[in-house]
Structure 1
Amino acid sequence: MNPTAAPAEPSPLPPASPTVSPPGLSVVLGGTGGIGAALVAQLRAQGCAVLALGRQTQPALDYTVESTVAACAQQVAQQLAHTGQPLARLIVATGFLHGTTASGQRAEPERSWQHLNADALAHSFAVNAIGPALVMKHFLPLLPRQGRCVAAFLSARVGSIGDNALGGWYGYRASKAALNQLVHTAAIELARRNREALCVALHPGTVDTGLSQPFAKTGLQVRPPAVAAGELLGVIDGLSQGSSGGFFDHRGLVVPW
């Protein structure tokens, strides 16, 4: 999401091939949250096999405890082995902007460096960067070694260093920028395993969820989760082969780093 100003004009995404992700399992981490639940619903409506994992599922996903990430990956591995399906889509729809940290403190986006707080920063990085990095460690090896597959991580335009003209939101910006670097780095390694595998960061825009509601100012294009989910799936399934390691918005346009 973007706090206030209109973004700089993005570059167009290279022309996408008409192919769509092959049949297989779609896994949505954060699949019980606002955007995550909408992604799960849309995928199921399309007839896709979907597994949603999150803090309220069994097994539960807790980025502050790596063993839970490993347990969730193990469940996915068992389902893949049982059904014989490939892992076609891995969508990571988790994120933290404001709320209660692991230690019980309240965290809000910082308007100034005077508001910087070590606990809030640590929690932002734990959820927005370290957790997804652990997902890469445990889930990316489950992607097939042949054929098209996509790992998509929901980032945010405010994580763009080149697009930052407003300042503020230190922890969210920095942790999402870290996520973008992790995605780009993982895409390089993933290509060594499977040249057709794609790993991307996606900006969903400002969506009407609990994460963005306190900051959805007049003039921003705030969209329902179902609309955002449809747009994101359209981008995911329309990605061209040369797009792995990139950062794209919900329209499929390139977001500057």
Structure 2
Amino acid sequence: MEQHPNTALVIGAGGGIGSAAAEALAKRYRQVIAVSRQPSAPPALAGRDNVQWLACAAEETAITDAAAEVAGASAELPLARVVIATGTLHGEGYRPEKSLRELSAGTLGHLYQVNAVLPLLWLAALEPALRRSEAAAVAVLSARVGSIGDNHLGGWYGYRASKAALNMLLRSAAVELGRRAPNVALLAFHPGTTDTPLSKPFQARVRADRLFSPAWVADALLARMDAARADGELHFVDYAGEPIPW
């Protein structure tokens, strides 16, 4: 496959979907910048000459500095694809809530910070570089459970709310980018249940044909990015390209 003479950027490249997306993009683009909190690249990426690994803390100043480095590295090979594959669902001391009694202000704040605030800080920091692109697509990992209209089961308060907040922030960003960077398409992407550590505790009830590999999801994500239009709208779509209600 002939490589596009542009740059692809993956933020959250140490995770399952992020790593798979970086691998897929490395086959298509001349330069891939892979960003992660992890200090070094996984073996699948470490051996690729066109992949630059960039360690970055999940902090505003670090994001600003890393975005400046990305802008410099992509000065001659403009950004064409940006994947923001960060997020959290459970961790030490917290898990998806099943009832109001389980709500914690600390957990809600943490989920909002990781799932909504950090992706938007990245988008804001990258906006000057995106304006230089003749055609670019930016995809941020969202989730169907962030749809207010699709919520018929309840529960998972913090995760649902943080993804709904992400969608609203991205929708406002899409309006602004439509004016300031009209060649940029913006997507909120639902990957489905992917076989990664994030979904591992919740896979028991998932049908085998609905548990997707990271590589399969990465291919679906790139297909959705290829098809996206730069029209000043936020496209909230799933892995099959079907729109999801707000």
Answer yes or no: same fold by TM over 0.5: yes
1:1-257 alignment, distance < 5 Å: 23-57=5-39, 59-63=54-58, 65-81=59-75, 84-100=76-92, 106-145=93-132, 147-220=134-207, 221-242=210-231, 244-257=233-246
Partner AA of 1:255 in structure 2: I
TM superposition outliers: structure 1 runs of 4+ over 6 Å: none
Q: What CA distance in whole angstroms lies between the structure 1 residues aligned with 2:126 and 2:133?
A: 16
| Contact map agreement 1:55 1:61 (CA 8 A) in 2 | yes
SS at structure 2 position matched to 1:124: helix
Aligned length: 229
SS at structure 1 position matched to 2:74: helix
Partner AA of 2:125 in structure 1: H
Q: What CA distance in whole angstroms lies between the structure 2 residues aligned with 1:216 and 1:133?
A: 29
| Contact map agreement 2:89 2:111 (CA 8 A) in 1 | yes
Shift of 1:29: 0.3
Q: Which residue of 1 aligns with 2:45?
A: none
User: 1 or 2, which has the higher strand percentage?
Assistant: 2
CA distance 1:219–1:133, shift in 2 (3 Å): closer
Shift of 1:23: 3.8
Q: Which runs of 5+ in 2 are unaligned?
A: 40-52
Q: Which runs of 5+ in 1 are unaligned?
A: 1-21, 101-105
Shift of 1:69: 0.6
Name the TM-score, length of structure 2 as normaliser: 0.88
Name the TM-score, length of structure 1 as normaliser: 0.84
Q: What CA distance in whole angstroms lies between the structure 2 residues aligned with 1:197 and 1:23?
A: 17
